[in-house]
Structure 1
Amino acid sequence: MMKKLVSIDYAASFIKNNSSLMIGGFLKCGSPKEIIEKLLENGIKDLTLIANDTSFPEFEKGKLIVNKRVKKAIVSHIGTNPETGKQMNNGELEVQLIPQGTLAERIRAAGAGLGGILTPTGIGTIVQEGKEVIEIDNKKYLLEKPLKADVAIIYGTRVDSFGNVSFFGSTRNFNTVMATAADIVIVEADEIIEGSLDPNEVVISGIFVDYVVKGGK
C-alpha cells in the first residue's frame, strides 16, 4: 500500500486561503487539473500563484484567474488568458512578470538552497527596477532572489509507491524544478504503479514528494 497515496480532498486541504502555490505545467501541458478543480470547489481564494503562465480562461490555472481566486500571479506569460490582463488593468490582480528562464532559475535556486542567481537578462529594462546590480569582469548582472512556495502541486505521468516520478515528452516542464522548492509537494499522477519505477525512468526523486493523488489522463 502506498503511504504517500492520499485522496484529492486530503491533498487539497493543505492549500489554504492566502497560500503561496506553485502549479506545474506549460499552458495545458503537464498540469495537475484535478487538484485545481478541487481548489475551485473548496472556495480557496487570495492565492499567490507561481507558475509559468495563467493558461487559458477555460483550463486549470486559467480557471483560478477567471474565478478571482488569485491575488498575485508571479508568471512569465499571460497572453493566452485575456482575463489576467483585464484584472491586472482593473487593479484586481497583482501581476509580476518574470523572464521565463529567470523564473525557472529562481525556483531552482530555492530548491538548491542558493541565495540567488546572477543574470544579465533584464539589465537596462523595467525588470531591473528595485534590484541589485552586480558587476563581474566588467559585465553587469541582476541579483535575482530564490522563489519558494508553501505548496507545490505538480503533474506526473507515472508515479511509483515511493513517489518517484517519470514523465512523457514535454510534460516535465516546470514540474521538475517546482518539486524541490515548496514546503509541501503534491503530485497528481496519470498512472500509479505498485513497486518501483525503473531508475532510468525517474526524473523526480520521491524524496521530494510528500503526497500523491490519482488524476485522470
Structure 2
Amino acid sequence: MDKSVPSAAQAVASIRSGSSLAVGGFGLCGIPTTLINALHEQGTSELRVVSNNCGTDGHGLGVLLSAGRITRVTGSYVGENKEFARQYLAGELEVELVPQGTLAERLRAGGCGIPAFYTPAGVGTQVAEGGIPWLYDADGSVAVASPPKPTGLFGDRTCVLEYGITCDFALVRAARGDRHGNLVFDKSARNFNPLAAMAGRITIAEVEKLVEPGELAPDDIHLPGVFVQRVVALTGEQAADKRIEKRTVRS
C-alpha cells in the first residue's frame, strides 16, 4: 500500500481543532518541523499535545504554543521555552508533567494496547500522591491539581499505576522511510519518535529520504509500517532544517 502524500498540508488536513496529538522528537532533535508548520498554517487550535517537550520559543511545537493553539501538554521537560512557562503560570495552559521514562512507557503501552502498568517511578512523591498543579487560575491559585494514583505492593516494592496513552494523531520525523510507512530514525531522534508513532491512531511521518519498498533492510527498520498511515517526503531544504537548542563554541 502506497501511503505517500504529496504535501504536508494534505497530510495534516484531517487534523481538526480539539484533537489529541502525540509528537515525536527529543529537544529539537528529530522533531516533525514541516508537519507542525503545516498544522500552524492550517489554523488548527485547541490541541492536546503529548510530547517529551514543547519545542523552543518560535520553533517546533513552540510555533503552535505561541499562537495559542495548544490548550494542554503532557510532557516531561519544559525548559528552553519562556512562553511555555508564561502560559502555564498565567493559567492559559494545562500541563501534566510525567517522569521521562514513564512518559515513554505510557506511549509504548498505548501503542501496544496495554491499558495500564505499574512502575516504582514517582512513588513517595506528588507523582503518586497527587497535588501537582495542572492548571492555574489567573490569580495564581491552583485550579486543577493532579489526582492521587492507585498503588500496589509487588514483593517488598510499592509501585504506582500509570495509564497507557493513545492520541487521535501522531506526528513524527524519520531519517529514511518507504512508501509502505516503514521508518528508520537517526540516533537521538529514535528516543521518542517510534513511541509517539505507536500511540497515534493516525500517524503521519515526514521523512528526510523516501525510498522504494524493499530498499530498507528488514533488520534496519525501527518502526514497521503497520503503525504509519501517511508519509510525506521532505525537500532537501526541509530535511536540512535542524536547529540546535544551545550552541557552544570555543572562543
Give the alignment of 1:68-217 within 5 angstroms.
68-128=68-128, 129=130, 130-196=148-214, 197-215=216-234, 216-217=238-239
- Contact 2:179–2:231, Cα closer than 8 Å, also in 1: no
* Contact 2:2-2:179 at 8 Å conserved across structures: yes
Contact 2:22 2:197 in 1 (8 A): no
For residues 180 and 9 of structure 2, the distance between their equivalents in structure 1, rounded to whole angstroms, comes to 20
Normalising to structure 1: TM-score of the pair?
0.96
Shift of 1:115: 2.3
CA distance in 1, matches of 2:41, 2:179: 28
**Alpha-carbon distance, 1:10 to partner:** 1.7
1:55 corresponding residue in structure 2: 55
Gaps of 5+ in 1: none
Residues matched between the structures, number: 216
| Alignment-mate amino acid for residue 170 of structure 2 | A
Q: Helix, strand or coil for the counterpart of 2:219? A: coil
On the 8 A contact 2:9/2:39 being kept in 1, the answer is: no
Identity of aligned residues (%): 38
Quote how far apart the aligned CAs of 1:57 are. 0.7
Cα distance in 2 between the residues matched to 1:167 and 1:136: 36
Distance 1:98 1:80 in 2: 17
RMSD between aligned alpha carbons? 1.1
Displacement, 1:195? 3.0
Asked if 1:4 corresponds to 2:38, the answer is no
Q: State whether structure 2 residue 30 is matched by structure 1 residue 30.
A: yes
> Residue deviations 1:70-127, cap 9 Å, x none?
0000000111111111101110000110000000001111111112121111111111
Amino acid at match of 1:172: R
Structure 1 residue ranges, 4+ long, deviating more than 2 angstroms after superposition: none
